[in-house]
Amino acid sequence: MFELSARAEEYIQLSKAFIQNEIEPIEADFWHQVRQLNVGADWTTWQWPVLLEQLKLKAQAAGLWNMFLPDPILGAGLSVQEYAHIAELSGQSLIAPIVFNCNAPDSGNMEVLWRYGSEQQKQQWLQPLLAGKIRSVFCMTEPAVASSDATNMQATAIVEGEEIVLNGRKWWSSGLGDPNAKIIIYMAHTPDPSKDRHHQHSMVLVPIDSVGVKIERMLPVFGDYDAPHGHGEVSFDNVRVPVANFIGGAGQGFEIAQGRLGPGRIHHCMRCVGAAEKALALMIDRGMQRQAFGQEILKLGGNLECVAEARVAIDQARLLTLYAADKMDRLGNRAALTEISAIKVVAPSMLEKVVDMAMQIHGGAGLCHDTLLTGFFAQARALRLADGPDEVHKGMIAKLELKKRGYVAKSK
């Protein structure tokens, strides 16, 4: 059902070989270096190991670069469904998306600039991002309001003459601690009484070193600061940037966000599928290589049933995500609203459950950094909130189902 072009098949096989030969053998040592460089250090001194740039250069030389972008010149020219298979492969590693320059939030930000940016914005910011020379941040969520309803935003972007004046506070801004982060996409309220509530928000490009931009702190996820990437809280105090820094014009924020989030959710969900495959493999190997009470621990209790349940759940999530991607390619994002929301509910929850099973088999080893499991678990739990919490997506699915039957779902 999900046909692949010869071009896609080649990229998939090359990506698979690169991950197996170049990334998997060094991943444990890479993250050990990351912790040595950054644990206990102030976030302003965070840094990546030299090994990362070496891997990125190898990936570029192999043509495994910006594969998420459907542009055949700037990216790989793959459809959303075709790239989804590569996202699954890269999801088996915590470093592969960065090595391929296909990592969040940069991939989404690059696609925003590619689709909606002006020529000047593309030259100044998109080209360095595509080259992997800089990194970017997306600022949307706010600490003072329920950000599951994006119209609650209190941060503002007000036009004054030839400038936009920015005021507000954002948090969980991923990548804010990265030493190479240079540009922020800031989403905020641009009041206009003549427009409806979904045309009163804008996306603005803000250089991270702009006067009035202050990184307040980094936020830990389950006690881990995810250095040197980081998830931070940042304030904007009368920050002034040129009107030309609007992306797509004032009031276009929600339209751009929907264009950004559709493919991004496919990427996230397929990486969840890949991570779950890796967790299942780790669980089986651990369970069959250790014995307790006279037999392999995987054969104790209901552990074999856990293996079966994991296999079923992974395959279901993969098929649903590929279906959503295929529908997006053929009919557009709006035609796949139900499926996009469905995968966002299904895939992170599936990963969370599979990783939990794998952790249980690993015992104490599953709770530390000796395996990738803790990173996968944090990823899964965070994704149940990021890009819209489960409850919002379930509400969207229910609303669309009622609409099919001629009913209108109203909420207070």
Helices (H), 231-336: 253-289, 303-331
**Arithmetic mean of pLDDT, 8-25:** 98
Q: What percent of the chain has pLDDT over 70?
A: 99
pLDDT at 144: 96
Residue 242 pLDDT > 80: yes
For 142, residues 6+ apart whose C-beta sits below 8 A from its C-beta are: 152, 153, 154, 155, 168, 169, 170, 171
Quote the CA–CA distance of 50 and 58 in Å, as a whole number. 13
User: Rounded mean pLDDT of the chain?
Assistant: 96
Burial of 357 (0-12, 13-18, 19+ CB in 10 A): buried
Q: What is the pLDDT of residues 376-389, one digit of tens each?
A: 999 999 999 998 99
pLDDT at 173: 98
Residue 410 pLDDT > 70: no
Q: What is the pLDDT of residues 134-148, one digit of tens each?
A: 999 999 999 999 999
Q: Please tell me which residue, 409 or 55, carries the higher pLDDT value.
A: 55
pLDDT tier, 348 (very low <50, low <70, confident <90, very high otherwise): very high
Q: Please tell me which residue, 3 or 394, carries the higher pLDDT value.
A: 394
Residue 41 pLDDT > 80: no
Residue keyed to tokens 């651990």: 286
- For 66-99, the DSSP string reads STT---TTTS----HHHHHHHHHHHTTSSSHHHH
pLDDT at 411: 56
Element (H, E) at 110: helix 106-116
Quote the CA–CA distance of 94 and 220 in Å, as a whole number. 17
**Arithmetic mean of pLDDT, 175-194:** 96
Q: What is the pLDDT of residues 63-108, one digit of tens each?
A: 999 999 999 999 999 999 999 999 999 999 999 999 999 999 999 9
Residue 3 pLDDT > 90: no
Q: What is the pLDDT of residues 108-142, one digit of tens each?
A: 999 999 999 999 999 999 999 999 999 999 999 99
All structural domains of the chain, each given as residue ranges with its CATH number in brackets, are: 6-103 (1.10.540.10), 135-250 (2.40.110.10), 254-405 (1.20.140.10)
Residue 408 pLDDT > 90: no
Quote the CA–CA distance of 271 and 129 in Å, as a whole number. 21
Quote the CA–CA distance of 248 and 113 in Å, as a whole number. 9
